Amino acid sequence: MVAILLGFLRGKSLRDEYVNLISSLGVFVVSLVLLIADGSSQKVYLSGYVLVSPLGNWVTFCVGIVYLLASIYSVGYMKLLNVSPRQLSKFYSLMEGFAVSMLVAAFMNNPGLYWIVIDVTTIISAFLVGFERGPESIEASWKYLIIVSSGLSLALLGIVLFYWGGTFHLGQVYSMSWETLHSVAAQVPTPLLLTSFFLVLVGFGTKAGLAPMHTWLPDAHSEGPAPVSAMLSGALLNTAILGIVRFLAILKGTKSSGPAHLAVIILGVFSLFVAATFIVRQQGIKRLMAYSSIEHIGIIAIGFGFGGALGVAGAMYNMLNHSLNKSLMFFGSGNAMRNYRSKEIDKIRRVLTYFPVTGSLWLLGAIAITGAPPFGLFQGEVSILRAGMQSKNVWAVWVVAILLIVIFIGFLNHFRAMYFGLDVEPGNAPTITMNTWLSLPMWLSLLAIVVLGLWWPSGLVHFFINAGKSL
């Protein structure tokens, strides 16, 4: 709402980038206040249409952080694209609409309305993916629209079947909400319940980028402008996984719960396998970051699949740390692409020689994104693995551990080449000077993931416990 209201000032007294920046700051402050003031309770407003819950507040907070960081970075980055003022105005309008749609999705108490808002995020973000209007970006935008829309059609069918299952006990017409579906789930035939959930899992799993439904993600993340890539990876994937987790919570206490959790774990493990396979042999810098996103959304899914206090806490902690860390990585990728005038890893060389400050931030972010200590993702992954050791699916812990080692080696091997390999070819040396707008969000992201890696605030433990209970 802040973004929409400030949008009326565009072209009159404020420039587009500053309208968007003020909007993002307002969103961040509101999400932080909501998390602190009412973060541990679950309440319903507006005749049952709006749900304020710990997990929803957490997703909103992640969106607020990424939106703020991306808005800061956009001020410097979009000037490098040499777009017209009219195009720039459209870009920031789309950014604001994209952020608002994700925020609204986190508060939807009706699964049908949640599906509608998720579909809206697809439409808006598709224009952002194709913003640069090159052949590759337009192709990526259409691929994103077609694949995700196909997945969401399956999710809609799953929601319809969930509703139909409720009609056997609530009548042909009733007010559908997450709690209402949970209250009748135990009385719905198991085959119908599992079929409904699997459709939803595949549908929203497509939107979240879980393998094998992930095929849109590498193209969309690599072709959109760097701030858009950060929003897609750090904010949108969390918003999509929220739907899967809430449908998973509907099955709690039913015979379908075990198979449903196992299915989520299997998709998460397979996502790690796909990510490891492509990360090792990747040639494009932003595609490398995209497959890292598939890895981490898989880890988050595994955490929720394991369940329990440790599984939920680890998954939620990774949602925040991945949002911060992947924003840093896409900002660094954007800087590298513009400076070296290439997306190819082979063309990016001696980063520290040309950019000692931002290059160091990017390298530290690369170490952090692989789950190495002392950064925040390490804390979350350890909690998830501990949860797996206490679950019936211990096999997944050992597979995940092996895949994480492969990803660690493969990912950092690319950075070894970019930082310590041969020098760049004559005539390809970087010429752009890094300004504050391009480096500040990288500093903020790195500082946050270091603090979250060294210090797990005690208040978060209580918050995660309440979030687990609400599920």
Q: Tell me: the pLDDT tens digits for 328-344?
A: 999 999 999 988 888 89
Which has the minimum average pLDDT: 1-15, 106-120, 122-136, 455-469? 1-15
User: In the 3-class helix/strand/coil scheme, how is 296-321 assigned residue by residue?
Assistant: HHHHHHHHHHHCHHHHHHHHHHHHHH
Closest CA to 137 of 148, 147, 125: 125
pLDDT > 70 in the chain, percent:
94
* Model pLDDT, residue 417: 92
Q: What is the arithmetic mean of pLDDT over 446-460?
A: 89
- Indicate the pLDDT class of residue 42, thresholds 50, 70 and 90: confident
CB atoms under 10 Å from CB of 104, counted, come to: 20
Q: What is the arithmetic mean of pLDDT over 231-235?
A: 95
* Gap between the terminal Cα atoms of the chain: 28
Q: Tell me: the pLDDT tens digits for 259-295?
A: 999 999 999 999 999 999 999 999 999 999 999 999 9
- Asked if residue 379 lies in contact with residue 450, where contact means CB atoms within 8 angstroms, the answer is no
* Model pLDDT, residue 39: 58
Q: Tell me: the pLDDT tens digits for 123-166?
A: 999 999 999 888 899 999 999 999 999 999 999 999 999 999 99
* Model pLDDT, residue 427: 64
* Model pLDDT, residue 13: 43
CA distance 141 to 127: 7
Using alpha carbons only, give the angle 184, 190, 191 rounded to the nearest 5 degrees: 130
* Model pLDDT, residue 146: 96
Provide the sign of the torsion angle of the four alpha carbons 33, 35, 36, 42, taken in this order.
Answer: positive
* Whether the predicted pLDDT of 465 surpasses 90: no
CA distances, 166 to each of 188, 195, 310 (Å): 7, 14, 32
- Indicate the pLDDT class of residue 5, thresholds 50, 70 and 90: low
State which amino acid sits at residue 313. A
* Model pLDDT, residue 383: 94
* Model pLDDT, residue 14: 53
* Model pLDDT, residue 365: 97
CA distances, 43 to each of 179, 253, 393 (Å): 11, 22, 33
User: In the 3-class helix/strand/coil scheme, how is the chain assigned residue by residue?
Assistant: CHHHHHHCCECCCECHHHHHHHHHHHHHHHHHHHHHHHCCCCEEECCCCEEECHHHHHHHHHHHHHHHHHHHHHHHHHHHHCCCHHHHHHHHHHHHHHHHHHHHHHCECCHHHHHHHHHHHHHHHHHHHCCCCCHHHHHHHHHHHHHHHHHHHHHHHHHHHHHHHHHHHHCCCCCCCHHHHHHHHCCCCHHHHHHHHHHHHHHHHHHHCCCCCCCCHHHHHHHCCHHHHHHHHHHHHHHHHHHHHHHHHHCCCCCCHHHHHHHHHHHHHHHHHHHHHHHHCCCEHHHHHHHHHHHHHHHHHHHHHHCHHHHHHHHHHHHHHHHHHHHHHHHHHHHHHHHHCCCEHHHCCCHHHHCHHHHHHHHHHHHHHCCCCCCHHHHHHHHHHHHHHCCCCHHHHHHHHHHHHHHHHHHHHHHHHHHHCCCCCCCCCCCCCCCHHHHHHHHHHHHHHHHHHHCCCHHHHHHHHHHHHHC
- Indicate the pLDDT class of residue 430, thresholds 50, 70 and 90: confident
* Whether the predicted pLDDT of 432 surpasses 90: no
The pair of three-digit structure tokens given for residue 380, joined into one six-digit string: 């979350």
Average per-residue pLDDT in the chain? 91
* Model pLDDT, residue 267: 97
Q: Tell me: the pLDDT tens digits for 168-224?
A: 888 888 999 999 999 999 999 999 999 999 999 999 999 999 999 999 999 998 899
Closest CA to 180 of 189, 167, 190: 167
* Whether the predicted pLDDT of 115 surpasses 60: yes
pLDDT > 90 in the chain, percent:
74
Whether omega for the bond prior to residue 225 falls within 30 degrees of 0, making it cis, is: no
* Model pLDDT, residue 440: 96
The residue whose two tokens read 């789309």 is 94
Q: Tell me: the pLDDT tens digits for 64-94?
A: 999 999 999 999 999 888 888 888 989 999 9
- Indicate the pLDDT class of residue 12, thresholds 50, 70 and 90: very low
